[in-house]
Amino acid sequence: MPTRRALILASLASPALAQGWPSRPLRIVVPFPPGGSTDLLARRLAERLTTTLGQTVLVENRPGAGGTTGADLVAKSPPDGHTILMGVTGSNAIAGSLYPNLPYDPVRSFAPISRLVSAPLVLVVNPRLPIADVAAYRAAALAAPGTVTYATPGNGTSMHLTGVLFGQSAQVSLQHVPYRGSAQAMTDLISGQVMSAFADVLVALPMLRAGTLRPLAVTSAARHPLLPEVPTMQEAGLPGFEAASWQGLFAPAGTPPAIIERLYTEVAAAMQAEDIRDAFARQGFLVGATTPAEFAAFVAAETAKWAEVVRAGQVRLD
C-alpha cells in the first residue's frame, strides 16, 4: 500500500503525469470468468474507451476466490492509470468481512473512479403459498422462527447477505438454503422445496411474467423500471432498507487524481451512450456513473453496512 509521502508526491506530480497519459495500452481486470455481466460491461466500456483515449483498452479475466484474486492483482499494480479493476460489491465492499486473510484492503488499496451500474434484488415466493406481501411474509417468519426458507446461489453472495439484512431489519429468523448457482435454486423454489428467494431481477423476470413466482418487494430505494407494480421494501414497511449488487471501476491507490478525473469523464460519457445505457437497462441494471468522490463515500458506507450484517449474522463461508 502506498505511503503517505508517496501519495503526496503523486498528487503533486498529477498534472504532469496526466498530460502523457495514457502512454500505452490499458487493461481492465475483470475478477470473474468471461461471459457474465461484469465481463460484458467491461468489454463494452473497453470498446468505447479505445476510441476516446486513443490507446487500446484490453479486458483481462482473472477469476478466483469470489473476485478477490483479480482485485488483489490491481491493488498491487503500479498506480499509473494503465491497470484498472471492474470491481463489484463482493470484491470491494464485502470481502474484507468474509475473508480473514484478505491480501488487500477493499477501501484503502484502491482509488474509486465511478460506480457504473447497480442491480437490486426482488423478494419472490412460491405463488402457492398464502403470502401476498412483505407483511404476510414477516408474519409467517414470526409465527414459526427459522422455518421460512430462502434459496441463494451460495454462502456470502449478495442474495445471502440481503436475506440476513432482511432478518435483522424485520426482526425475524429466516432459514438460509445455499445452492451452487441460481438455476437450481429457482427450480427448487418453483417446485416448492424452498419458500422464497432474494433474486436477481433479470433471473426472476421470466418466472414472474409466467406466474410461477410471486414478487413481494424490490430491495432498491425506488421502484424498479422493469417491475413498476412491485413496491420497495421501504414502501412495504421496512424504513431505510436498501440493498443492491453493483459494479464500478477502481484504480490502485496512489493513482494521480488528474488521471482518475480523466477516466471518470470518459467513463461517464460512455455510460450515457444510448447503446450501452439501453443494453444494461434491459438486463435489469440501474445505469448511471457517479463521481470519484461520490463513489468513494458510497464504497465506505457499503463496506461498513455489510461488515455489520456479516458480524451480526455470524456469516461464514464454510
**pLDDT tens for each residue of 8-65:** 555 554 555 567 899 999 999 999 999 888 999 999 999 999 999 999 999 999 999 8
Residues 99 and 12 in one domain: yes
Residues 194 and 262 in one domain: no
Q: How far is CA 199 from the centre of its chain?
A: 13
How would residue 318 be classed by pLDDT, with cut points 50, 70 and 90? low
H-only helix segments in the chain: 4-19, 37-53, 68-75, 89, 95-98, 134-143, 158-170, 182-191, 201-210, 257-272, 274-281, 292-313
- What's the pLDDT at 298? 96
Q: pTM (2 decimals)? A: 0.87
How would residue 157 be classed by pLDDT, with cut points 50, 70 and 90? confident
CATH of the domain at 147: 3.40.190.10
Q: How far is CA 228 from the centre of its chain?
A: 22
Instruction: Write out the three cell numbers for 25.
Output: 495500452
* Separation CA 149–CA 140 (nearest Å): 11
In the chain, what percentage of residues exceed pLDDT 70? 94
Average pLDDT along the chain: 92
Structure confidence by residue, pLDDT tens digits, 259-310: 999 999 999 999 999 999 999 998 889 999 999 999 999 999 999 999 999 9
34, 80, 99 from 112: Cα distances, Å: 23, 14, 21
- What's the pLDDT at 53? 96
- What's the pLDDT at 20? 85
Flag whether 235 is in a domain: no
- What's the pLDDT at 26? 98
What one-letter code names the amino acid at 150? Y
- What's the pLDDT at 316? 85
Query: Do you find a cis peptide bond into 22, omega within 30 degrees of 0?
Result: yes
Instruction: Write out the three cell numbers for 6.
Output: 508517496
Flag whether 232 is in a domain: no
Question: Residue 192 forms beta bridges with which residues?
Answer: none
Flag whether 11 is in a domain: yes
Residues 114 and 124 in one domain: no
Residues 151 and 124 in one domain: yes
- What's the pLDDT at 289? 95
Residues 154 and 79 in one domain: no
Domain span including residue 55: 4-119+243-313
Residues 103 and 24 in one domain: yes
Rg (CA), the chain: 20
Q: Which residue has the cell 503526496?
A: 8
Per-residue pLDDT, averaged over 151-164, amounts to: 91
Higher pLDDT, 231 or 6: 231
Give burial (CB, 10 Å; 0-12/13-18/19+) of 193: middle
Q: How many domains does one find in the chain? A: 2
2, 111, 195, 266, 290 from 296: Cα distances, Å: 17, 8, 37, 18, 10
Q: How far is CA 43 from the centre of its chain?
A: 17
Residues 151 and 101 in one domain: no
Residue 125 near residue 166, CB atoms below 8 Å: no
How would residue 317 be classed by pLDDT, with cut points 50, 70 and 90? confident
- What's the pLDDT at 12? 52
Residue 96 near residue 109, CB atoms below 8 Å: no
CATH of the domain at 266: 3.40.190.150
Flag whether 231 is in a domain: no
- What's the pLDDT at 270? 95
Per-residue pLDDT, averaged over 100-112, amounts to: 94
Per-residue pLDDT, averaged over 233-254, amounts to: 96
**What is residue 199's DSSP assignment?**
E
- What's the pLDDT at 17? 54
How would residue 181 be classed by pLDDT, with cut points 50, 70 and 90? confident
Strand 214-218 to 83-88 pairing? unpaired
Answer whether residue 123 shows pLDDT above 80.
Answer: yes
* Separation CA 284–CA 173 (nearest Å): 29
* Separation CA 289–CA 303 (nearest Å): 19
* Separation CA 164–CA 268 (nearest Å): 33
Flag whether 318 is in a domain: no
- What's the pLDDT at 166? 97
Instruction: Write out the three cell numbers for 51.
Output: 476510441
